[in-house]
Amino acid sequence: MPSPRHPPAIFLMGPTASGKTALAVSLVERFPLEIISVDSALVYRGMDIGTAKPDAATLARAPHHLLDIRDPTEAYSAAAFCDDARRLMVDIVARGRVPLLVGGTMLYFRALLQGLDDLPRADAALRKDLEAEAAERGWPALHAELAQVDPATAARLAPNDSQRIGRALEIFRLTGSPMSALLDRVQSALPYRVLQLALIPSDRAVLHRRIAARFDAMLAAGLVDEVKALRRTHALTSDLPAMRAVGYRQAWACLDGEIDLRELREQGIAATRQLAKRQLTWLRSWPDAVVLDCLAEDLEVQAVEKVQAHLQAE
């Protein structure tokens, strides 16, 4: 367990469109913090509009680690994130500063805090078998199967989340144990005193309006053109993790003529809402989370008070 002698760190977690970046920048300007991005899509170069990647002005005010570190054709895993984040945290502390980990990829936060050592490595043959089953039966059927053996994991996954459903079933078939149980058995080994701030909206309807406005802004900024350019400059396929990101898979379908722009907007907003729902499911059961209403007028004041108290604690 972390002791008072361990250096402080801060997690700033929340669903998409909850204002994490703006709050993080404000905190960086008040305290000796350095931001580490905790986002499975922001790692990809060239994916700027659909990921709401911080712009140059924001990054000038508050640099972010772990942006633009992979091409869209490359994979990036929770294990890779943990390796990168732990290394960066050591470097940040050595500079006399405090790591501020900001994002909405909850599996990455959990992996960093609790570890993934008990999870087996990917099995190519079994993964191929699962993909063949999905081609025959459909991913919703495999999601239903997952719900029978690992209801906790299935509850936070969409029925068509092929990557995560496949991984969870792979783990169960390899070990005979549900992934949720394996994760729960791993003890925390992160040698930091972590303040875990969770941004949770008091009114889901307001968050939904923010999501719609942000997706409309992405379309106006050229999301479809961004995906078109990525397809032109990279050997991409629609099943790559980068292209399964919310917004990107809908833009891909639009470019392939499967849906029109109106359907792109509707499906993109719906998928983003589902993503936010899954993130909130994680957060509402998150142990040791300090919940802040991301819609509160005094959100920044509350966050500053929590961070100041944490940094001054012995």
**pLDDT value, residue 187:** 46
CA distance 216 to 219: 5
Cα of first residue to Cα of last residue in the chain, in angstroms, is 15
Dig out the tokens for 7 from the structure. Answer: 């250096």
Report pTM. Answer: 0.81
CA distance 25 to 289: 21
Query: Shortest CA distance to 182 belongs to which of 194, 166, 192, 168?
Result: 168
pLDDT tens for the chain, 314 residues long, are: 455 579 999 999 999 999 999 999 999 999 999 999 999 999 999 999 999 999 999 999 999 999 999 999 998 888 889 999 999 999 999 999 999 999 999 999 998 998 765 677 788 888 888 999 999 999 999 999 999 999 999 998 999 999 999 999 999 888 888 888 877 655 456 899 999 999 999 999 999 999 999 999 999 999 999 999 999 999 899 889 899 999 999 999 999 999 999 999 999 999 999 999 999 999 999 999 999 999 999 999 999 999 999 999 86
Task: Give strand pairing partners of 103.
Answer: 13, 38
CA distance 50 to 34: 24
Write b or e for each residue in 187-197: b if 16 or more Cβ atoms lie within 10 A of its Cβ, otherwise e: eeebbbbbbbb
* Angle between helix 139-149 and helix 124-137 axes, rounded to 10 deg: 120
DSSP state of 72: T
Residues 104, 39: contact at Cβ < 8 Å?
A: yes
CA distance 1 to 12: 21
Dig out the tokens for 311 from the structure. Answer: 């940094």
- Please name the residues in contact with 178: beta carbons below 8 A apart, sequence gap of 6 or more: 149, 150, 152, 153, 168, 171, 172
